[in-house]
C-alpha cells in the first residue's frame, strides 16, 4: 500500500517553503558543491598493489581533494595484475562511467606493450598528467654495496648474478631506467637479470629480504625507508640531485643516464563533454590547492600538469618512445 501525504494548510505550505529556502546554506564548502567539483560516488582505481607509486599518488590525491573541500568520500581501490593492464582492461570496459578514474603512468604504457594488451591507453579518456619524479637506485641497509660505483663494478663483472628489481613490467619506468643504466655501464641489456614486481610495495619486501641485489623505483615510494635507514640510497636517475637526499645523480657518477617517470589520471572511454569537464575541473582545482602543493613537496614530486587532448598527445608520444627505447636496447 502506498501512503499519500498532502499539505492541507497554508501554514504547512509556508513551512515547506521556508525549508526549501533555508536548504542551500546547510551545504558546507566541504561538500564541494560550491566549487563545482562534487562528484558523488567517485571511485579511483589503482592498477597495482598497495604501497606502489600509483597507490601513493591516488590515496594522496583523494585525501587532498577531500581536505581541500573539493569533493568527499572518494573510494580508492586496488586492482593489480599484469603490470597494470588488468586495471586498464577494467577501465576501458566501463564505457561512459564518469564516476570512475584510474591512477597510472609510464608503467602502464610499457605494460600494455610488453603484455600485448588488446586494450591500450589510446582507448581511455585522458584527464591529466600530474607529477614527474626521478627513479632511485637503492639497496638494503645490510648490503655490501656502499656506493653506486661499487654496485656497478659488481654488476659488470657478473650481471646475471646481481639481480635487479623494479616495480614495473618490461617497458615500464623502472625497467627502462635499469636498462638505460646497464647500457651506460657497458652491460648488455640482454645480460641483465631484471625481476619485475607489481609495484614498489612488492619490490620493497624483496629488497629488504635480499632477494634482489638492488632495486629501482620512484623516489616518492621509498622516502620513509631511506630516511629511516632501512634502504641505502646510491643514486638518482634524474638530471639533478633530489633536495634533502644525500645521493649523486647517475650522470655525475659517470653514467650517461637522464630518466624521469610521470604519473597521471585517465578515465573510461565514451564520457560526455560534461563528465570529462567535471573530472578535469576537479583535478585542476586539486592541483592548485595548498594541500596538493604540500604533498608534492613532501614526496619530492615535480609538477608536470597537462590536461585533455594535450595529455592524450603526450600518451601517444610516450607509447612511441617506449617502442623506440626497447628496440634500441634490443629488447
For the segment 293-305, the average pLDDT, to the nearest whole number, is 96
For the segment 224-240, the average pLDDT, to the nearest whole number, is 97
Residue 84 burial (C-beta neighbours within 10 Å; 0-12, 13-18, 19+): buried
Query: How confident is the model at residue 28, as a pLDDT?
Result: 38
Q: Report the C-alpha gap between 164 and 150 in whole angstroms.
A: 15
User: What is the gyration radius of the CA atoms in the chain, in angstroms?
Assistant: 23
Same fold, 32-132+261-328 and 134-260: yes
For the segment 105-113, the average pLDDT, to the nearest whole number, is 94
Query: How confident is the model at residue 233, as a pLDDT?
Result: 98
> What digits encode the pLDDT tens for the residues 38-64?
999 999 999 999 988 999 999 999 999
Domain ranges of the chain: 32-132+261-328, 134-260
Q: Report the C-alpha gap between 78 and 61 in whole angstroms.
A: 15
Task: Report the CATH superfamily, name and number, of domain 134-260.
Answer: Periplasmic binding protein-like II (3.40.190.10)
Query: How confident is the model at residue 328, as a pLDDT?
Result: 82
Task: Identify the CATH class of 32-132+261-328.
Answer: alpha beta
Question: Regarding beta strands 164-166 and 75-78, do their DSSP bridges make them parallel or antiparallel, or are they unpaired?
Answer: unpaired
Query: How confident is the model at residue 241, as a pLDDT?
Result: 95
- Per-residue pLDDT at 142 exceeds 80: yes
For the segment 89-98, the average pLDDT, to the nearest whole number, is 98
Query: How confident is the model at residue 329, as a pLDDT?
Result: 82
Q: DSSP letter string over 237-263?
A: -SSSPPTT----BTTTTT-----EEEE
Q: Report the C-alpha gap between 148 and 253 in whole angstroms.
A: 8
For the segment 308-324, the average pLDDT, to the nearest whole number, is 94
CB-based contacts of 28-34 (< 8 A; 24+ apart in sequence): 28/69, 29/69, 30/66, 30/69, 30/72, 31/69, 31/71, 31/72, 32/69, 32/70, 32/71, 32/72
Amino acid at each position: 500500500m502506498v501512503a499519500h501525504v498532502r499539505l492541507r494548510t497554508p501554514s504547512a505550505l509556508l513551512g515547506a517553503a521556508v525549508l526549501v529556502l533555508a536548504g542551500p546554506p546547510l551545504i558546507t564548502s566541504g561538500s564541494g558543491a560550491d566549487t563545482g567539483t562534487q562528484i558523488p560516488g567517485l571511485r579511483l582505481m589503482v592498477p597495482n598493489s598497495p604501497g606502489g607509486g600509483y597507490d601513493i599518488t591516488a590515496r594522496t590525491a583523494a585525501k587532498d581533494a577531500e581536505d581541500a573541500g573539493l569533493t568527499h568520500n572518494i573510494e580508492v581501490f586496488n586492482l593489480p595484475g599484469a603490470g597494470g593492464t588488468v586495471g586498464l582492461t577494467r577501465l576501458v570496459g566501463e564505457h561512459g562511467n564518469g564516476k570512475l578514474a584510474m591512477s597510472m603512468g609510464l608503467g602502464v604504457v610499457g605494460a600494455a606493450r610488453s603484455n600485448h594488451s588488446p586494450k591500450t591507453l589510446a582507448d581511455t579518456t585522458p584527464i591529466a598528467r600530474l607529477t614527474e619524479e626521478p627513479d632511485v637506485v637503492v639497496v638494503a641497509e645490510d648490503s655490501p654495496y656502499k656506493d653506486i660505483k661499487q654496485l656497478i663494478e659488481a654488476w659488470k663483472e657478473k650481471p646475471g648474478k646481481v639481480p635487479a628489481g623494479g616495480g614495473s613490467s618490461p617497458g615500464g619506468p623502472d625497467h627502462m631506467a635499469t636498462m638505460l643504466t646497464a647500457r651506460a655501464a657497458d652491460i648488455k641489456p640482454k645480460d641483465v637479470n631484471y625481476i619485475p614486481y607489481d609495484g614498489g610495495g612488492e619490490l620493497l619486501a624483496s629488497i629488504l629480504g635480499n632477494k634482489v641485489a638492488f632495486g629501482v623505483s620512484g623516489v616518492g615510494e621509498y622516502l620513509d625507508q631511506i630516511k629511516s635507514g632501512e634502504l641505502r640510497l646510491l643514486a638518482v636517475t634524474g638530471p639533478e640531485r633530489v633536495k634533502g637526499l644525500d645521493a649523486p645523480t647517475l650522470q655525475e657518477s659517470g653514467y650517461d643516464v637522464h630518466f624521469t617517470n610521470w604519473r597521471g589520471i585517465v578515465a573510461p572511454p565514451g564520457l560526455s563533454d560534461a563528465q570529462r569537464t567535471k573530472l578535469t575541473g576537479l583535478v585542476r582545482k586539486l592541483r592548485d590547492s595548498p594541500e596538493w602543493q604540500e604533498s608534492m613537496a613532501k614526496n619530492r614530486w615535480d609538477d608536470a600538469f597537462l590536461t585533455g587532448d594535450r595529455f592524450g598527445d603526450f600518451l601517444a608520444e610516450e607509447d612511441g618512445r617506449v617502442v623506440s627505447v626497447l628496440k634500441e636496447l634490443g629488447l
